[in-house]
Amino acid sequence: MSRHTRWPVVFALGLLLALLVPAAVAEVSVDDPSGSHPSWLSMGLQGGEDEGFPVPWTVHRQSIPSAWALNPDGDQRGDGHPAAAFPAGTFRPVVAWSTPVDGNGRDIVLSEWAGSAWSAPETVAGGIPEQRGPDVAVLPDGGLVVAWWEDDGNVRQVWVRKRAADGTWQEAEAVSPAGEDCRWPAVTVLDGVVLVGWFRERGDGTREVVVAREDAGWATEVIGETACDGPDDDGNAFLELHAVGTRAWADWRLAADRIGTSRRDPASGTWSAVDEISCENSPDGRRLARWEAKKRALGW
């Protein structure tokens, strides 16, 4: 996302605009590519379901050039919430999302802003079982890594797939252990190494927050827990992973008025005990709490 607050993404969620504009033009669009910040995105969201959870797809535009719009009929089709990343120095967003396949299953697709139009959506993962809830991050060489969860109707599993800087895709790789019920992944790149987090169901209505590193063979580490399920009601990612230099941290929703955060010590590689950050039960309140988590992680 990203659905991610760590990227310069503009979320247009104004009630006035929702009342003035009768129909969604685009769920995702660039915000005036001729301007000084062509990488900024607007994500207009229309009331519906995202992976089974309500998401406030608020209409935000009445008219934009068609080339700016990524998925103008996504609200009618049932596209999932998008995740966005920005390759360094390009100012061209990359967006991944889940989309229904004709009557059967969901695929993970990806598109990039090419400077004047979006590229045709490229299938990252498809077929049966269903593929859901992607996240995307940029590799140091300009490549990409996409994480998502696969749902076979019984057990859910987290997968990743890398794309090299030349556009070549590697084979998809399962990162959560077989037989464990895992979903809602987040992905980041820490000092050149892919770091993935997700929720692991305990079977009692609670979930463990798990992280794994590619250079450790995806060995898992539990850093927290939560009884919440699904994304925030404002569409923000439920679990987020962040990395700046050698520092990494995670934050996730504990309750309507609280988030949890854990920080990775760059020297020892261990994760801190969970800090709870209180917030207003509102989109702005949760965004401010996540900003506070960032300040603590970076020592600001």
Poorest-pLDDT segment among 62-76, 84-98, 126-140: 62-76
Judge residue 156's burial from the number of C-beta atoms within 10 Å of its C-beta, 0-12 exposed, 13-18 middle, 19 or more buried.
buried
> Which CATH code, of 2.120.10.10, 3.40.1360.10, 2.60.40.2220, 1.20.1730.10, is assigned to 81-298?
2.120.10.10
Angle at 240 between CA 144 and CA 290, to 5 degrees: 130
Token pair belonging to 195: 């770091």
Q: What is the pLDDT of residues 184-238, one digit of tens each?
A: 999 999 999 999 999 999 988 889 999 999 999 999 999 999 988 666 544 556 8
Cα separation of 145 and 143, whole Å? 7
The band of 117, judged by pLDDT with boundaries at 50, 70 and 90, is confident
Cα separation of 46 and 128, whole Å? 27
Angle at 45 between CA 41 and CA 48, to 5 degrees: 150
pTM for the full model? 0.84
Exposure string of 175-211, with b = 16+ CB inside 10 Å and e = fewer, is bbeeebbbbbbbbbbbeeebbbbbbbbeeeeebbbbb
Give the DSSP letter of residue 191: T
Token pair belonging to 63: 């008219």
Q: What is the pLDDT of residues 147-171, one digit of tens each?
A: 999 988 888 999 999 999 999 999 9
